[in-house]
A and B are shown apart, each in its own frame.
Chain A
């Protein structure tokens, strides 16, 4: 049973470029969550998606950030025109249902903006 998969594990971008982070949930899971973690800090909720729907994006910055979870394929977190402050670890989690169900986390993507 494969767990939550994220790729790439490490991503380096120059300021102004675009970053695309991918997340494949656990088999059978249709709920996906994205979190951001700065060094030595806790995880901060960004967005909660179900297939083809954004359920809660209250943690997403208003500009440059977007997320999708299409009917087929992985969930994508997209950051346009990256800035140094976007450097962080981005974690994806998935759950079987949306009712206080355990969230399983992936290994994360570490984004470095030069």
Chain B
């Protein structure tokens, strides 16, 4: 079946370091991928998305990389800040806006 998996459930980084969160997916037909950030007690917040015709997309301090050959998605956060502490979810559109979410990676930023 369709699934999205995360390599690391928890990631601890020092403030100022770069963070990399990884995600694997199984549906090779997926053509739209999204990263969400969820803080405690809040709804998911859109970070960045990428379509399958691209392999890299950059935003403010964030970069998403897509490797369709090995079905791998990653989120890079540059100069990680305490405010980046949250749970990060990757998701893909399995067809007509039905999002499939991964289990999540908790990012803990230490001063």
Cβ of A87 to closest chain B Cβ, rounded Å: 16
Cβ of A94 to closest chain B Cβ, rounded Å: 11
Q: Is the CB of B104 within 8 A of A41?
A: yes
Q: Is the CB of A107 within 8 A of B46?
A: no
Contact sample, A vs B, 7 pairs, CB 8 Å cutoff? A41-B104, A44-B101, A45-B99, A55-B96, A56-B98, A98-B97, A102-B46
Which of A4, A43, A56, A59 is the one whose CB lies under 8 Å from B96? A56
**How many residues in B have their beta carbons less than 8 Å from beta carbons of A?**
25
Q: Is the CB of A48 within 8 A of B97?
A: yes
Q: Is the CB of B97 within 8 A of A91?
A: no
Q: Is the CB of A42 within 8 A of B98?
A: no
The answer to whether A1 has its CB under 8 Å from any CB of chain B is no
Which B residue sits closest to A102, measured CB to CB?
B46
The answer to whether B45 has its CB under 8 Å from any CB of chain A is yes
Give the interface residue-count category, chain A.
20 to 34
Given A56-B96, A101-B97, A103-B97: A41 touches B43 (CB 8 Å cut-off): no
Q: Is the CB of B43 within 8 A of A108?
A: yes
Interface residues of B: mostly helix, strand, loop or mixed? strand
The answer to whether B44 has its CB under 8 Å from any CB of chain A is yes
The answer to whether B93 has its CB under 8 Å from any CB of chain A is yes
Inside 8 A of A31's CB, which chain B residues have their CB?
97
Q: Is the CB of A45 within 8 A of B98?
A: yes
Inside 8 A of B102's CB, which chain A residues have their CB?
42
Q: Is the CB of A102 within 8 A of B42?
A: no
Q: Is the CB of A58 within 8 A of B104?
A: no
Chain A CB count within 10 A is highest, among B44, B89, B93, for B44
Chain B CB count within 10 A is highest, among A55, A104, A105, A106, for A105
Which A residue sits closest to B103, measured CB to CB?
A42
For chain B, residues 38 to 56, give those with C-beta under 8 angstroms from any C-beta of chain A: 41-46, 49, 51
Which A residue sits closest to B97, measured CB to CB?
A98
Inside 8 A of A41's CB, which chain B residues have their CB?
103-104
Q: Is the CB of A100 within 8 A of B97?
A: yes
For chain A, residues 61 to 114, give those with C-beta under 8 angstroms from any C-beta of chain B: 91, 93, 95, 98-108
Cβ of A10 to closest chain B Cβ, rounded Å: 10
